[in-house]
Chains A and B, each alone.
Chain A
Amino acid sequence: MIAQTAYRRRRLGVLALVLTLAALVMPEPSIRQSPMMLVKVDSAQGIDGPDDVIWILALGSDAREGQPPLGSRADAIQMIGVNLRTGAGSIIGIPRDSWVPIPGHGSDRVNAALTYGGPQLMARTVGDLVGVQPDYVFATTFIGFKAMVQSMGGVTVYSRLAFTDDYMVGEIERGENRLSGFEALFFGRARHFLPNGDFDRSANQQELLRGIVREIRAKQDEPGFMERGALSVMQHMYTDLSPAELYRLGHAATGIDPSRLEGCVLDGSYGTVNGASIIFPNTSQARRLADEARDDATFDTGC
């Protein structure tokens, strides 16, 4: 049964008196029509989320099926600052071969920190590099990432380049690409035919993040979409958040404006250490980017 509830505001008796007199002196209309047209729409949205800029370290581990997801190297390393009050966001991409100090382990490639000490050590290592410690760490695997994109029904990205890769199956066109989970993984991993290798790959990962935010914002109204996505994240992503916190943060993330999600990939120079090819990252750029984005999640002077 649908509840019928009413309240009546009791105005002064004057109104009733006027209406009564009007009824006495005026002919009653044969049909009384009330204006019931739908003509105007007001809307409002608000989500209780963090007021300040929050920093999230997003990691993609290269663990294959059967391997421990957090004991492997990180292939994708993106430090994301978002201001949920303004919708602005900044992403600092860290090339995986960046040679950096890892607390307690001397210097090594940054992605080795995940193997040495899990997400916590990885967070500290990247935090020390840029000068801002992440509030949250999200880590997923190839398989998990693919599943999460699939749960959204795919993702659209805008590629600066057309490319393929001899080592992987996939092909990307310049401009708009609608990608399945498998294709999105290719877009975020391929690097061999990219002119700037790891740097271009990191930029592609940032475009993937933009695409995911666009997808979430476009579909958040669909019944069950946010819940399906949240469940997939809970199943496929490591995070130190409780499921309820994750669900709330996921909704809060719909406040991010993808057109204001600016990405910079850390510069660096190629080098060799103990015969291994590595990148010496531009640490002063890393500090500057994080300093500029620290309070409002925007890069004041670009990359």
Chain B
Amino acid sequence: MDTSNDDSTALEVRTKISGVLGRLPQAQRERLERDAGQLVSGYLAAAYLHERPSDGFRGSFPGFTTGARELALKDVDTASDAAFSGADEVRSRSAVAFLSVVATEGRAVGATARIFLDLAVTDGSRGRLVEVRGRLLLSPVGDGWRIFGYDLTLDNPPSGKQKPGKGGNR
């Protein structure tokens, strides 16, 4: 299947609030679910499902605070698809996030997104399931939300880093 004409980089992470500590009105909950969903989706898509531009991984962490991005750039083997960047195809099989939220005075002031992203990675005739699991730490910054921390595991990444993809896309 040639996906060149598809919006192949969009990823919709199913995001649901699993718990709220403190009081948060329903309208705020719905807004948070939407905003956090977009934030998490944007990162996971950029990190694991995008063609890598020639300038490397700097674009892999949209929505991260500056400090978190600098840290993540040192952890690209786990926080992005660096470990399987030479694969022929990467497809998301499922993408879910559960939010634990803390709120005071009717406003959310922090949240943890527990992520469950399953990737089907195909390289030649070999296929493998790569599971991205862990937490993204979210905080309101200005009018929006940012990812200020991460604690991620990558199950079953290929052993040994693969070389970047050819054709100048990675």
Chain A residues with a Cβ under 8 A of chain B: 1-12, 15, 19, 32, 34-49, 220-221, 223-224, 226-228, 230-231, 234, 242-244, 246-248, 251-252
Please state if A5 and B110 are interface contacts (CB–CB under 8 Å).
no
Given contacts A37-B156, A42-B153, A48-B64, 13 further A-B contacts (CB under 8 A): A2-B96, A7-B8, A7-B49, A19-B125, A43-B151, A43-B153, A44-B150, A45-B149, A46-B75, A47-B68, A224-B18, A230-B110, A251-B149
Contact of A3 among B4, B11, B100, B111 (CB under 8 A): B11
Please give, as numbers and ranges, the residues of chain A lying within 8 Å of B14 by CB-CB distance: 1-3
Of B1, B68, B129, which one neighbours A48 at CB under 8 angstroms? B68
- A6: nearest residue on chain B (CB-CB)? B91
Q: Which of A10, A11, A36 contacts B129 (CB 8 A)?
A: A36
In the complex, 22 of the A-B residue pairs with CB atoms within 8 angstroms, ordered by the A residue number, are: A5-B91, A5-B95, A8-B8, A9-B170, A15-B88, A34-B127, A35-B127, A38-B131, A42-B154, A43-B154, A44-B72, A47-B68, A47-B148, A223-B98, A224-B21, A227-B100, A230-B109, A243-B104, A243-B109, A248-B137, A251-B137, A251-B148
Question: Are the C-beta atoms of B10 and A247 separated by less than 8 Å?
Answer: no
Q: Does B3 sit at the interface, judged by CB under 8 A?
A: yes
List the 10 closest pairs (A to B, CB-CB), nearest first: A46-B71, A247-B110, A48-B67, A34-B127, A47-B149, A44-B75, A3-B12, A44-B78, A6-B91, A227-B102
Tell me, yes or no, whether B55 is within 8 Å of chain A by CB: no
Digit string of B42-68 for contact with A (CB within 8 Å is 1, else 0)? Answer: 000100011100000000000011111
Of all chain B residues, which has the CB nearest A222? B100
- Given known A-B contacts A5-B45, A42-B153, A44-B152, A12 and B166 have beta carbons under 8 A apart: yes
B155 touches A44 (CB 8 A): no
Q: Does B16 contact A (CB under 8 A)?
A: no
Chain B residues near A220: list those with CB within 8 A.
151
Nearest CB to that of A242 among chain B residues?
A: B109
Cα-based distance from A4 to B135 in the complex (angstroms): 22
B1 and A8 contact, CB distance less than 8 A: yes
B150–A223 CB distance below 8 A: no
Query: Number of A-B pairs whose CB atoms are under 8 Å?
Result: 203
- A247/B139 contact (C-beta < 8 A), A2-B95, A10-B167 known: yes
Proximity string of chain B (158-169) to chain A, C-beta cutoff 8 Å, 1 when within and 0 when not: 010000011101
| B129 closest partner in A (C-beta) | A36
Tell me the complex Cα distance, A226–B90, Å: 33
Question: For residue B131, which residues in chain A have a CB less than 8 angstroms away from its CB?
Answer: 38
**Nearest chain B residue, comparing its CB with the CB of A250:** B110
- Please, which residue of chain B has its CB at the minimum distance from the CB of A46? B71
Give chain B residues whose Cβ lies under 8 Å from the Cβ of A244. Answer: 109-110, 139-140
Choose one: B93, B156, B166; the contact of A39 (CB below 8 Å).
B156
A9 in contact with B165 given A36-B129, A43-B153, A223-B18 (CB within 8 Å): yes
Chain A residues with CB under 8 Å of B157's CB are: 40, 42
- Evaluate contact between B10 and A5: CB separation under 8 angstroms: yes
Within 8 A of A (CB), among B7-47: 8-14, 18-19, 21-22, 45
Chain A positions within 8 Å of B91 at CB level: 4-7
A4 to B110, CA, bound (A): 29
CA–CA, A247 and B125, complex, Å? 46
Q: Give the shortest distance, in Å, between A217 (CB) and chain B (any CB).
A: 12
Q: Report A-chain residues with C-beta under 8 Å of the C-beta of B1.
A: 6, 8
Q: Which of A12, A35, A40, A45 has the most chain B CB within a 10 Å cutoff?
A: A45
B83 within 8 A of A: yes
A5–B92 CB distance below 8 A = yes
Q: Which residues of B contact A38 (CB under 8 A)?
A: 129, 131, 155-156
Tell me how far the C-beta of B73 lies from the nearest C-beta in chain A, rounded to whole angstroms: 10
- A221, B12: Cβ atoms closer than 8 Å: no
Q: Verify B165–A224 contact, CB threshold 8 A.
A: no
Q: Is the Cβ of A46 less than 8 Å from the Cβ of B156?
A: no
Separation of A220 and B94 alpha carbons in the complex (Å): 25
- Report the bound CA distance from A224 to B113 in whole Å: 10
Are B89 and A7 in touch, CB under 8 angstroms? yes
Please pick, from A15, A43, A234, A246, the residue contacting B124 in the complex, using a CB distance under 8 A.
A15
CB neighbours of A230 from chain B (8 A): 21, 102, 109-110
CB distance from A235 to the nearest CB of B (A): 8
Q: Does B101 contact A (CB under 8 A)?
A: yes
